[in-house]
Amino acid sequence: MMLNKARILARYGMTHAKQNTARTTGFSIVTPSIHPFHSMAKIQLQKQGPLDLSYDVIKSDTPRNGNVEKPGPPIIILHGLFGNKLNNRSIGRNLNKRLGRDVYLLDLRNHGSSPHSPVHNYGAMSEDVKHFITKHELNTQDGPIIVGHSMGGKVAMMLVLKNPQLCSMMVCIENAPVSLRPNIEFVEYIRALLEIVKDNGKTIQTLKQADERLAERIGGNELVRRFLLTTLKRVKTEGALGASSYTFHERIPLGTLKDAIVKGEIAAWPLDPTHERWTRPALFIRATQSQYVADEYLPLIGSFFPRFETRDIDAGHWVNAEKPGECAENIAEFVERHED
């Protein structure tokens, strides 16, 4: 039995991506290579129950094509690391308009307005989403269509692999079922953000000053820094004689996310296709200026998702923000074709 496990790990558990220092949109390019590396992270058995996630819903008021017909299964969209439900409003509105159905935008745990927890791994996050689907009775007909970007993509993959009858289709944007080395650059982002918080308003009181501090620490382009600053909130405090000042506080538990990154929880992929396969339609959207879904990963994707398809979009890793219309168009075409 130990020998069989070793064969499984040799075949599926040793693929990771080496991080290099090249930059395009301010984040590392991931260059695929094969090394004997296995993620530290495992699916943990949690005593804590699932969390109630914050969400927005884009309701479908008008039946598609003017026909009075039962709307199709709803769409649920999950954001990536440091993100929130607002990141996917453009894609959500496009899909709502094109497909004529409700679109739910979720905040994953420790992000946006959702509850915080010291536990942050794909097992726990996928259980939260499963709880959301059940609580809101979205698992009617063949189940909802689950869409996820980056970290949210791995949550979506985990969800359908662990609950094969729950969803009707799955779309993963810019991620693959592989274990990566923990991205230390993300840790540097968090350290820089916490420096702004710990400044306590002594030298940093405005968004411009916060951005300048981030630029000193992490460089990158302005769009990336603006995205990261959404994890902080600017708070006004009244001083003596009516004087006021501003400080920055954490919106989300940056320390918890830092621990999850360092421990390999974010970069992890703890499943193997000898135990989990999903045979319903799956779409993988790849950004051509990124290597998060490298050609080398396609055979492994096929092992987990034998009915998978790919679409390539000329953009960086944040393709959902750079080209939401093109993302939505590819998703809508995929959904319509498989529902016919």
DSSP, res 43: P
Residues 30 and 101 reside in one and the same domain? yes
Claim to verify: residue 42 and residue 140 sit in the same structural domain: yes
Decide if pLDDT at 41 tops 60.
Answer: no
83 and 24 in a single domain? The answer is yes
Q: Is 120 annotated in the active site?
A: no
CATH of the domain at 47: 3.40.50.1820
**Whole-model pTM?**
0.84
* H/E stretch holding 28: strand 28-34
Among 54, 150, 168, 179, the one annotated catalytic: 150
Verify that 70 and 123 share a domain, yes or no. yes
What number is the average pLDDT over the span 17-27? 35
76 and 210 assigned to the same domain: no
pLDDT tens digits, one per residue of 279-297: 999 999 999 999 899 999 9
CATH of the domain at 196: 1.10.10
Give the pLDDT of residue 240: 65
In a domain, 4, yes or no: no
- Residues 240-263 as b or e (16 or more Cβ within 10 Å = b): eeeeeeebbebebbbebbbebbeb
33 has pLDDT over 50:
no
Alpha carbon distance, N-terminus to C-terminus of the chain: 45
13 and 131 assigned to the same domain: yes
Residue 36 and residue 14 share a domain: yes
Q: How far is CA 239 from CA 159, 207, 244, 246, in A?
A: 49, 20, 5, 10
Quick check: 88 and 105 in contact, CB under 8 A?
yes
The CA distance from 151 to 143, in Å, is: 22
- Alpha helices of the chain — where are they, by DSSP H? 2-12, 89-99, 122-135, 151-162, 184-198, 207-218, 222-229, 254-262, 298-304, 319-322, 324-339
Same domain, 201 and 170: no
Beta bridge partners, 7, equal: none
- The pLDDT tens digits for 83-133 are 999 999 999 999 999 999 999 999 999 999 999 999 999 999 999 999 999
| The predicted structure's pLDDT at residue 16 | 35
Does residue 24 register a pLDDT over 70? no
Q: Both 249 and 274 in a single domain?
A: no
Question: Last residue of some domain: 232, 259, 286?
Answer: 259
Asked which of 240, 259, 278 is the last residue of a domain, the reply is: 259
**Whether 172 and 200 share a structural domain:** no
- A 10 A CB-CB count for 11 gives 14
Residue finishing a domain among 219, 234, 259: 259
Q: Are residues 291 and 332 in the same domain?
A: yes
Identify the pLDDT of residue 211.
96
- The C-alpha atoms of residue 148 and residue 320 are separated, in whole angstroms, by 10
Given a cut of 80, whether residue 155 has pLDDT beyond it is yes
Nearest to 15 by CA among 288, 303, 269, 329: 269
Asked whether residue 232 carries a pLDDT value surpassing 60, the answer given is yes
Q: Do 104 and 225 share a domain, yes or no? A: no
Q: What range defines the domain where residue 251 resides?
A: 184-259
The residue with tokens 């998702």 is 305
**How many structural domains is the chain composed of?**
2
For the question of residue 338 being annotated catalytic, the response is no
95: CB partners within 8 A, 6+ apart: 75, 101, 103, 328, 331, 332
